[in-house]
Amino acid sequence: ATPTALMVGTGRGAQLGILIKGPQVLESTRQVDTIVLDKTGTVTTGRMSVDSTVGADGENIDELLFVAGALEDGSEHPIAQAITLAARADGRPLPRIEGFSNHDGRGVSGVVDGRAVAIGRRTWLEQDWSLVAPKNLEVAAHDAEADGKSPVWVAWDGSIRGIVVVSDTVKDTSKEAITAFRTLGLRPILLTGDNARAAVAVAKQVGIEAADVIAEVLPADKVSAVKDLQSRGYTVAMVGDGVNDAAALAQADLGLAMGTGSDVAIEASDLTLVRGDLRSAADAIRLSRSTLKTIK
């Protein structure tokens, strides 16, 4: 009877928009008490757009966005796509880039029109490129972050030139999903590479405690965050969509991938939420619990 009940659970999962790798997966969900959520693309839509561009003293913001967009054309990151799209609105063809490099979870660098350009997170420009953030940008970035937005720092030829502020929106189903997790007795935790202030602002919108936000985490450290919770005795489900979530999804006791996300994340996971709707994660856990109850 056991395998049959599990098969029925699997079939019901498909109806709910949940693809289950194998019937045994339902078993591993039973003990889950903590649910770690990636921010971008999981709790938010992941469709970023440029809100504003702020220049350091004397910088032309149209030029700033244009140079940033040219370099970001080499990256597939959602932030990069937003910046390139905004830069193209200028109408001029984007210049070719030379020596492009992607620095995972930090930013990108390369040569645009003879300028050595780096774009990414502030701490990366400060620590790896020894640059100093101008005061006016610091203030503008702080305000943007408090609003849940992400400032991206643009530098070339030894100076920070400005910030491009990007944002995306919380999915309208996320808050309801988080309420459902709590009803199931799960503690939701937000895990992101993005800045802490923006992460806390998003957490607040969906009902996650500020104390349960883990921000500014490098892709390689997402897996450590999951391991750390496990070593403290928690049984962890993780929901993510990105290539940078794959290792953490595999490490979690239960990995759930957004069907709208990358193939790498889907392959690393036990369950796929076909519609990319976080509420399906709660459905999956409820389903596995009721399926297992039927068996007992």
Of residues 65-124, those binding ligand ADP (CB under 6 A): 72, 75, 77, 79-80, 105-108, 119-121
Work out the widest C-alpha separation in the chain, in whole angstroms: 74
What string marks each residue from 204 to 223 as x (binds ligand ADP by CB under 6 A) or -?
A: ---------------x----
Out of 5, 36, 38, 252, name the contact with Mg ion by CB under 5 A.
38
Conformational region of residue 133, where left means phi above 0, alpha means psi within -120 to 50, and beta covers everything else: beta
From the list Mg ion, ligand ADP, none, pick the one residue 80 interacts with, judged by a Cβ distance below 5 to 8 Å according to partner type.
ligand ADP
39 binds ligand ADP (CB under 6 A): yes
**In this chain, which residue has its C-beta nearest to ligand ADP?**
193
Instruction: Say which of 38, 221, 245, 283 is annotated catalytic.
Output: 38
Long-range CB pairs of 69-72, under 8 A, 24+ apart, other chains included: 69/94, 70/94, 70/95, 70/97, 70/112, 70/113, 71/97, 71/100, 71/108, 71/109, 71/110, 71/112, 71/117, 71/119, 72/108, 72/119
**38 is known as an active-site residue:** yes
Please tell me the count of residues contacting Mg ion according to CB under 5 A: 5
**Strand blocks (E) in the chain:** 18-20, 34-38, 49-55, 97-103, 107-112, 115-120, 150-156, 159-167, 187-191, 213-214, 236-240, 254-258, 271-273
Of residues 218-257, those binding Mg ion (CB under 5 A): 241-242
From the list ligand ADP, Mg ion, none, pick the one residue 193 interacts with, judged by a Cβ distance below 5 to 8 Å according to partner type.
ligand ADP
From the list Mg ion, ligand ADP, none, pick the one residue 194 interacts with, judged by a Cβ distance below 5 to 8 Å according to partner type.
ligand ADP
Angle at 260 between CA 28 and CA 33, to 5 degrees: 25
Taking the least distance from each CB to Mg ion, the nearer of 260 and 291 is 260
Binding-site ranges for ligand ADP (CB under 6 A): 39-40, 72, 75, 77, 79-80, 105-108, 119-121, 150, 152, 192-194, 219, 242, 244
Residues designated as active site: 38
